[in-house]
Structure 1
Amino acid sequence: MTDLQSPTQDNLEFMIEAIKTKLRMASGAAMQAGSFSLACYEDVKDIYDIVASKDKFSISEVEAIVSELGKLRKS
């Protein structure tokens, strides 16, 4: 198990990849881990924790999660 308490680029990349995998994102290529700053680490971790805690997601839940990740991406 990865220790996600430390805000590192590796941990950020791990969480983004895990979210993409769990949500089976067709547009996963558009959501590159390098597009996120360590400044938003806690927000990404909150999303990761929610995604990791559920087995299934409705379409509207996936859209909301992707929308939140989109807001966190570097401009």
Structure 2
Amino acid sequence: MDLSAATQENLSYILKRIGEKLDVVNVVLLDPVDYNLDKYEDLKWLYDHIMTKDSLSISEKQAFIEELANIRK
């Protein structure tokens, strides 16, 4: 999948995959409606960084979730 373009479909995909990797239980945090496409590059950077890790510590997961909360509308 080509994630270089800031589209709603790519945003939804990125948020879904981030949620899976971070084991997010409250998926409301990752509702694509709550994110602006103008923040796509920030989300793409987080996605790329998270996906390079084989596993994440609890503190890393918490830090990424906090960063997502900062990016939300």
| TM-score, scaled to structure 2 | 0.93
- Name the residue aligned to 1:21: 20
The equivalences for 1:47-66 within 5 A come to: 47-66=46-65
Please identify runs of 4+ aligned residues in structure 1 that moved more than 6 A. none
| TM-score, scaled to structure 1 | 0.91
Unaligned runs of 5+ in 1: none
Which segment is superposed worse, 6-15 or 22-31? 22-31
- Name the SS for the 1:19 alignment partner: helix
By how many angstroms is 1:31 displaced?
2.1
CA distance in 2, matches of 1:30, 1:6: 22
- Name the residue aligned to 2:72: 73
Unaligned runs of 5+ in 2: none
Report % sequence identity.
37
RMSD of the alignment, in Å?
Answer: 0.9
AA partner of residue 49 (structure 1): D
Which segment is superposed worse, 35-44 or 18-27? 18-27
